[in-house]
Chain A
Amino acid sequence: MIINYISMQNFQCFYGHHESNKVAFSDGINVIIGDNGHGKSKLWNAFYWALYDQIFDSDRERFVTTPQSEESIFSDRAKKECAVEEFVKAEIKLEVVDSRGERFEIYRTLKAKKLDDRNWEVAPTSKLLIRRYKVTQWQAVNESEHPSILERVLPGHLKPYMWFQGEQVNSLMDFQNTTSLTQAIQLLSDITDYDQLVEITRDGTHKSANALRTEQKRLSSDSSKSEDIERKVIAKQKELEDEERDRESNTKNKEAAEIGFDGLLNSISDAEKRAENKASLDSLTNKRDTNVQQLDSKIQALNKKLFSSHWVLKGCEPSITDFSGKYTKFLEYHYQKAALDKIAESQLPVDVPQPIFVNKMLADEACFVCGHLAPKGSDEYKHISGLLDRKIQSSTTFKNDCSSLFKKLYDNTTEYKNVILGIDSSISEEFSLMAKLRSEISSDNKSIEDINKSFGELVEKDQSENIIKEFRRHKKSLEDYQDAIYVNNININQITDELERLKQQTEKLVVGSPNKAVEATADIFNKLFELALSTRGLVFSNLVKDLEKSANDIYQSMAERNRSVIGRLNLRIMDSKTCFPEIVDSDGNSLAGSNDSNIRLVKLALMMAVLKSRSTWSQNYCLVSDAPTSKMSRNYSEGFYEALGKNFRQSIVITFDFVTETKKSDIKINNLGKVYKLNSVIPDGDRTKRDDLYTEIKELDL
Chain B
Amino acid sequence: MANRNEILNNFINNEELYELSGLSPESLNDISFNPDPAGDVLVESLKKLIHSYCKGEAKITVIKNINIEIERIYRP
Contact = CB atoms under 8 A, between A and B. Distances in A.
Contact of B71 (A201, A203, A517, A527): A517
A531 B16 contact: yes
A447 B53 CA distance: 72
A525 interface: yes
A158 to B, nearest CB: 16
Contacts of A200: 49, 53, 59, 62-63
Interface stretch (A189-197, A303-311, A436-444): A189-197
Nearest to B13: A538
B46 interface: yes
Contacts of A521: 66-67, 70-71
B11 A531 contact: yes
Given A193-B53, A524-B41, A517 B10 contact: no
A282 to B, nearest CB: 59
B66 A517 contact: no
Interface string A197-220: 101110110011000000000000
Contact of B14 (A204, A516, A531): A531
Contacts of B38: none
A190 B53 CA distance: 13
B42 interface: yes
Given A203-B59, A520-B41, A534-B14, A528 B46 contact: yes
A423 to B, nearest CB: 99
Interface in A515-564: 516-517, 520-521, 524-525, 527-528, 530-532, 534-535, 538-539
A204 to B, nearest CB: 4
B14 A535 contact: yes
Contact of B42 (A193, A524, A539): A524
A531 B17 contact: yes
Interface in A498-518: 516-517
A517 B75 contact: yes
A539 to B, nearest CB: 5
Given A197-B53, A520-B70, A535 B10 contact: yes
Given A190-B2, A528-B42, A203 B14 contact: no
Nearest to A542: B10
A524 B45 contact: yes
Highest count of chain A CB atoms <10 Å: which of B21, B49, B73: B49
B15 to A, nearest CB: 9
Interface in B31-76: 41-42, 45-46, 49-50, 53, 59, 62-63, 66-67, 70-71, 73-75
Contacts of B66: 204, 521, 524-525, 528
A207 B7 CA distance: 24
A297 B62 CA distance: 90
Contacts of B14: 531, 534-535, 538
Interface residues of B, number: 29
Contacts of B41: 520, 524
Contacts of A525: 66
Contacts of A190: 1-2, 6-7
Interface string A207-249: 1100000000000000000000000000000000000000000
Contacts of B59: 196, 199-200, 203
Tell me if A's interface is mostly helix, strand, loop or mixed: helix
Contacts of B71: 517, 521
A528 B45 contact: yes
Contacts of B70: 517, 520-521, 524
A543 B50 CA distance: 20
B68 to A, nearest CB: 10
A527 B21 CA distance: 9
A18 B46 CA distance: 57
Contacts of B67: 208, 521
B42 A530 contact: no
Contacts of B17: 531
Interface string A659-680: 0000000000000000000000
A317 B17 CA distance: 113
Contact of B50 (A197, A199, A204): A197
Contacts of A532: 11, 49
Contacts of A528: 42, 45-46, 49, 66
Nearest to B59: A200
A204 B46 CA distance: 12
Contacts of B7: 190, 193-194, 197
A200 B10 CA distance: 17
Contacts of A199: 59
B1 to A, nearest CB: 6
A554 B62 CA distance: 41
B17 to A, nearest CB: 6
B40 to A, nearest CB: 10
Given A203-B63, A530-B16, A197 B49 contact: yes
B8 to A, nearest CB: 10
A193 B1 contact: yes
A70 B11 CA distance: 55
Q: Can you list the 8 inter-chain pairs with the closest CB atoms, starting with the nearest?
A: A190-B2, A517-B74, A204-B63, A517-B71, A527-B20, A193-B2, A535-B14, A534-B16
Interface of A: 190, 193-194, 196-197, 199-201, 203-204, 207-208, 516-517, 520-521, 524-525, 527-528, 530-532, 534-535, 538-539
Interface of B: 1-2, 6-7, 10-11, 13-14, 16-17, 20-21, 41-42, 45-46, 49-50, 53, 59, 62-63, 66-67, 70-71, 73-75
Given A200-B63, A521-B66, 15 more contacts: A190-B1, A194-B10, A197-B53, A200-B59, A517-B70, A517-B73, A520-B70, A521-B70, A524-B45, A524-B66, A528-B45, A531-B14, A531-B20, A534-B16, A539-B10
20 contacts: A190-B2, A193-B2, A193-B53, A196-B53, A197-B49, A200-B59, A516-B74, A520-B41, A521-B70, A524-B42, A524-B66, A525-B66, A527-B20, A528-B66, A531-B11, A531-B14, A532-B11, A532-B49, A538-B10, A539-B10
